[in-house]
Amino acid sequence: MTFRVGLLGTGNISDTHARAARETSDVEIVAYFGRDAEKAERLASKYGGNAYRDIDGFLDHRPMDAVLIGTPSGLHAEHGIAAAQRGLHVLVEKPLDVTTEHADALIAECEHAAVTVGVFFQDRTAPDLVWLRRMIHAGALGELFLVSAQVKWYRAPGYYEGSRWRGTWALDGGGALMNQGIHTVDLLLWLLGDVRRVHAATRTALHRIEVEDTAVACLEFVNGAVGTLEVATSAYPGFARRVELTGSAGTVIVEHDRVVAVVLQNSPPEAPPRDEGNANASAASPVVSDPRGHRRVLEDFIHAVREGERPLCDGHDGRRSVELVEAIYRAAGSGDAVTLRETADPARR
């Protein structure tokens, strides 16, 4: 019953994928490929398996059940399609890709090949956030009408200057919003459902990059709620993400991935878990040192593959955050509101 995976990519996030795989029962890493052959060799030496110098050799390695993709975001669909064409399941680091056009191509190829595609959105596995979603669905907050989300992080200039792809339209798909903010975009969609219309403004306030390092959006949700989203990599020294959800029965506040305040008219059906949250210093560092969230996503993905079920975030669900970020960029570029949809998709969960 061993599930064998290959790592496509050799950057910081691929090391996180390797540690997550190593901590998952009955998972073996069997192959590595990345643009930097020396890094691939180091990963193979550290975690076991074979390092390849060409992608075709990597994809043809057998036995192998799935690839975990940690290459630059703008290459996710290209690499995922190549894997699907070899009959391999595909688990992609966020975002699914940087355009809905590329995301759609990846989804279509995976469906044609009858393989599973999923996205690493580890907020969906955080115990406190799972509890919060359950409380929303149970009606503990009443009718949700207001949300505020702040991702006021900081990245030093070297974060962009030392990379060929970060902060570029082609490979990063944007700046703070598409890269750092995408987790919170997905979280809002997961908790509140589809967005109907957006207004937005973006700035390149601090860094010498071609994309934004500061973004603000006003979101109108299909369910009638309204909200604001602030995302930055320009906010020194970097602050914990904060999300405030208010409904007719009270408010819940989240910092990082933990519920820090529950102020409701009536006690919730169950108390929030006493989870310490992950230990990642995301507000000021791109390094994901705590692999537990990735491990939980991988465990869910393997279960989905084996049971023929949908993973926690499949391709269609992962596409939603890309679609919303694209709409925010269009709204910021035009200065006008952008409408996505008038009614919720009943297939969304």
Quote the pLDDT of residue 165: 96
C-alpha 335/C-alpha 338 separation (Å) is 9
SS (H, E, C) the chain: CCEEEEEECCCHHHHHHHHHHHCCCCEEEEEEECCCHHHHHHHHHHHCCEEECCHHHHHCCCCCCEEEECCCHHHHHHHHHHHHHCCCEEEEECCCCCCHHHHHHHHHHHHHHCCCEEEECHHHHCHHHHHHHHHHHHCCCCCEEEEEEEEECECCHHHHHCCCCCCCHHHHCCCHHHHCCHHHHHHHHHHHCCEEEEEEEEECCCCCCCCCCEEEEEEEECCCCEEEEEEECECCCCCCCEEEEEECCEEEEEECCEEEEEEECCCCCCCCCCCCCCCCCCCCCCCCCCCHHHHHHHHHHHHHHHHCCCCCCEHHHHHHHHHHHHHHHHHHHHCCCEECCCCCCCCCC
Q: Specify the pLDDT at position 349.
A: 45
What is the rounded CA–CA span in Å between residue 324 and residue 246?
Answer: 22
Strands 66-69 and 3-8: parallel
Cα–Cα distance for residue pair 145/328, rounded to 1 Å: 20
- The β-bridge partners of 29 are 5
Tokens of 207: 């860094």
Residues 188 and 123: beta-carbon distance below 8 Å: no
| pLDDT value, residue 348 | 53
CA dist 58 and 33 (Å) reads 6
Can you tell me the distance from the alpha carbon of 146 to that of 245, in angstroms, rounded to the nearest whole number? 6
> Which amino acid appears at position 4 of this protein?
R
Please say whether the dihedral angle defined by the alpha carbons of residues 4, 10, 14 and 19, taken in this order, is positive or negative. Answer: positive
pLDDT of residue 293: 96
Q: How far is CA 16 from CA 38, 93, 116, 298, 330, in A?
A: 18, 10, 21, 12, 33
What is the residue-level pLDDT of the chain in tens, covering all 349 positions? Answer: 899 999 999 999 999 999 999 999 999 999 999 999 999 999 999 999 999 999 999 999 999 999 999 999 999 999 999 999 999 999 999 999 999 999 999 999 999 999 999 999 999 999 999 999 999 999 999 999 999 999 999 999 999 999 999 999 999 999 999 999 999 999 999 999 999 999 999 999 999 999 999 999 999 999 999 999 999 999 999 999 999 999 999 999 999 999 999 999 999 999 999 877 776 778 888 888 899 999 999 999 999 999 999 999 999 999 999 999 999 999 999 999 999 977 666 545 4
Is 185 within 8 Å of 324 (Cβ atoms)?
yes
**Sign of dihedral through CA atoms 188, 192, 195, 197?**
negative
Furthest C-alpha separation in the chain:
60
Contact 206, 337 (CB under 8 A): no
User: According to the model, what pLDDT value does residue 341 have?
Assistant: 78
